[in-house]
Amino acid sequence: MSEQHGTSYPLPDDPLLAETARALRDTGHWAWIVDDQWRVVYVTDELRLTFGGGELAEFSIGTHFFGPESARTSREFLFGMTSDRLLRQWFAGLGGLVLSDTPGGRDRLREIVDPSLRDLVDDLSPADPAALSFVAGGTALFGLTNDIPALAWRIRDRAGRLIGTAMVTKPAPGMHILSMATSMGDLRHLERMQRVGRVGRRPAAILFADLEGSSPLSKRLSTANYFRLGRRLVVAADQCVIDAGGLVGRHVGDGVAAFFLAEFSGSESAAARDCITAARALRDAVTEVASRSDLEPDDVVLRFGLHWGSTLYVGGISTGGRWEVTALGDEVNEAARIEACAGGGRTLASKDLVERLEPDDAAALSLDPDSVTYTRLGELDTTTEKARRDAPSIAVCDV
């Protein structure tokens, strides 16, 4: 399980509810469990992490699922039932069960539920099926609103006495689409992306890499072969970044961006180490990419620019067509300038990055930051006009 704020909720005291909660927890479902009076007794970590945008959201355990305290709490979540509209949809879907379980009927239910729901009570019909399903609106990651299918089933003891109700939800797409989407992504990376759903300032090491001499190569190869080469490159690059603990950024043409967050790596030194490790791994992987593309190693050469970002804003961006992580800050532009100056397949790292390495991490990389000699970008033979204009004083070395 990923690093989280807060702790998991204990299983309910009732053995049957605890058995259900354990099964839902162990299978990674979005789920709530309420007792026979609709008091919330358990919420899975997966649901809490989703509603909290990567942090464990705190629910009002022990209060009525549709009561004022639970409603007030849900409105503070980053995602989930964050509005009266969504809360009313859920009450319309589950209200028949709630009414059936409420001693005192409609009058008592009006007293119990949040004021935003009271006008719906007269429209409810008591219901007590073994299970029911409905579709409500829900707020997905990064603000996209989609329909959320929900399933509720009754939990009864051997005598048929109602013990509680379990509710499970899922994203709108069918399981065949969900399985296809997750099978195309590394679960470690998907988890990291989810943890940066909330945009914030996050110190990180930055990696930029780009294919050198791409224009002549694209003219030499057929379009189909060049496309296959590009695909192999980004697949290799992404895997090297993921294996080193990083977040893959945008792919622009033949270029790759990646970020190694100090909060994920454990320290600024570890993030710098992971960044250099990923660059070296990708540099080694390029040989195999060239071979699979029937090219010589000298035909596929990458430039690398590594830098440290103390003031980066990192977060997720999601649209109807894609989900990605991006970072903004002056250091991102500077990393791009460093990469553009790394002609001849060099891996250039800034002084700001290298001097973040603690002795153990530096030794693991066979580097000695205390004996490194740096050169300013503006003094390199391979400096570019943009680097000379925007970042001539950044000190770099080969790593």
With contact defined as beta carbons under 8 Å apart, do 384 and 342 qualify? no
The residue with greater pLDDT, 36 or 170, is 36
Q: Are 252 and 320 in contact (CB under 8 A)?
A: no
State the average pLDDT for the chain.
91
pLDDT at residue 321, rounded to an integer: 65
Q: According to the model, what pLDDT value does residue 181 have?
A: 67
Q: In the predicted model, is pLDDT for residue 389 greater than 80? A: yes
**Half-sphere exposure of residue 290, counting CA atoms within 13 Å on the CB side?**
16
Percentage of residues of the chain with pLDDT beyond 90 = 76
* CATH-assigned architecture of domain 185-398: 2-Layer Sandwich (3.30)
Q: What is the pLDDT of residues 228-265, one digit of tens each?
A: 999 999 999 999 999 999 999 988 777 899 999 999 99
pLDDT digit string, tens, across residues 330-386: 999 999 999 999 999 999 999 999 999 999 999 999 999 999 999 999 999 999 999
Residues 6+ apart with CB under 8 A from 282: 209, 236, 237, 240, 241, 256, 302, 304
Residue spans of the domains in the chain: they are 15-177, 185-398
- The per-residue pLDDT for range 150-187, each reduced to its tens digit, is 999 999 999 999 999 999 998 877 888 777 766 667 87
Q: Could you tell me how far CA 227 lies from the centroid of its own chain?
A: 28
Cα separation, 35 vs 21, whole angstroms:
12
Q: What pLDDT was estimated at residue 172? A: 79
Nearest to 383 by CA among 331, 332, 340: 340
- 15-177: CATH architecture: 2-Layer Sandwich (3.30)
pLDDT score for 251: 81
